Structure 1
């Protein structure tokens, strides 16, 4: 029986990002004492573009992986975008689709100058936030704008579903808010949300903790992949593994119940930095 590694190498080539990701993923599983029990894959074509002599096809590969850690079973899922050219019935240039969208530039957020003492403290509904994260991990709520780089927009929606109050409109450099076609930078830009959670003294607030083990479902992890001070990515914790460590959901590279560290990501570098925030 052909191994999955051999299948992907044959289909995409030995230098495929998919093969590289799979090897990283297997190494991370071994490190965590996690066993892959079963994997299912399904492709979904979402765009076809016809030219004179050929056709360009874009599709998503949805992987569903049943995992076991100790006596604990869980299902990790990923959606990976691909494209290929079809010419004379032959598949050409089959490769991972690069995400070229850029987050909006952001200026330094305007910090809270005072705490409103009489503002009622919001009660964070963690279950509602996680339920939203699970409902929309691989699709997009039409009530919100969708972005090519969608990780922070998705996390903000989850926080809002958990009851986090919006404030600061219409100043995009202030607060955390969404209103139709406009929004704060902190709503949709990873770097801005990280600093908002550090500085907010009212409404949606985050308390930084030292270890991911201290996080609970509904909490947020921020990532600086290069360790250069520019925060690139955000995820929401949706579960804890048998080892007590977080499993997260994310958009852009849509994923569900992924191990928090992102060591299997092609964006990972040894200089990666994390910030762990308890919400509420």
Structure 2
């Protein structure tokens, strides 16, 4: 069964490299081809693809495994490496592969109703935001969990909160979970620390952010918030860690652990045509 997974991975690499045509229409093939097509439309070129598989568990009927994708990309005169970790489940019958699907992380379950902004937010302490430290943290921990913090299956907002804290944003509002932005050890935190929508509302109301209208107005260490369904409730956050050859943001994120990923997430399994974005520039004092 390991051999069949290895062959499947080699087949997908060959598809991306242009060494084979799409012989069957699978969701995974469509996603990979969309990534390649999107890059081409932006004037980029996929130079090399490396994929490393790791089997987490295997039985006679199924295997749970991860793929570490590395994409070497040329954009204008710039080269960079985009990375992504994909977790999948394969099902077998009589030794034959019959199903292969991405394992989606559960949505955030915390009920953040009651979280709100008020005039007291004007009391947030002044600080200097160190963009370099925030980005360095995002690079160090993009594919790992810092043991100093709690670990969540749906970890995107927890990770971005950690990045902001590493950049010098002070915590405020403790101990009220419906107020401020803070964490206390591994067992207590504000909703805005871990819940994507509350985090977006926090950025929207904070005196140290400016919402801008275009991703090209962002710089390293700034934040992008995503409402994949376009229903008004935001469910993902990323931090800008680089720029492509044309000044478009590249981002790091958790949940589907990603590094130097193109900001718009059009190749994500969560993407819909109704997606909405919010772009937050953090003021540097």
Global fold match (TM > 0.5): yes
Q: Which residue of 1 aligns with 2:132?
A: 127
Q: Give distance in 1, aligned partners of 2:68 and 2:169.
A: 31
Tell me, in whole angstroms, the C-alpha distance in 2 between the residues paired with 1:217 and 1:47. Answer: 38
Q: TM-score, normalised by structure 2?
A: 0.87
The residue correspondences of 1:56-95 to structure 2 (distance < 5 A) are: 56-85=62-91, 89-95=95-101
**Gap regions ≥5 residues in structure 2:** 1-9
Change (3 A) 1:278 1:30: same
In the alignment, which residue of structure 2 is the partner of 1:14?
Answer: 25
Pairwise CA RMSD = 2.2
Residue equivalent to 1:168: 173
TM-superposed deviation, 1:89? 4.6
8 Å CA contact retained: 2:88, 2:100: yes
Q: Which residue of 1 aligns with 2:53?
A: 43
Per-residue deviation, 1:91: 3.8
SS of 1:57 mapped into structure 2 = strand
- Give how far 1:147 is off: 1.2
SS at 2:171's partner residue? coil
Q: Deviations over 1:62-102 (max 9, x none)?
A: 01010001111010111111112456654442222232343
Q: TM-score, normalised by structure 1?
A: 0.88
**What's the offset of the Cα at 1:7?**
7.0
Cα distance in 2, alignment partners of residues 94 and 47 from structure 1: 15
Matched, 1:246 2:278: no
Cα drift, residue 230 of structure 1: 0.8
Unaligned runs of 5+ in 1: none
* CA spacing shift, 1:188–1:115, aligned 2, 3 Å: closer
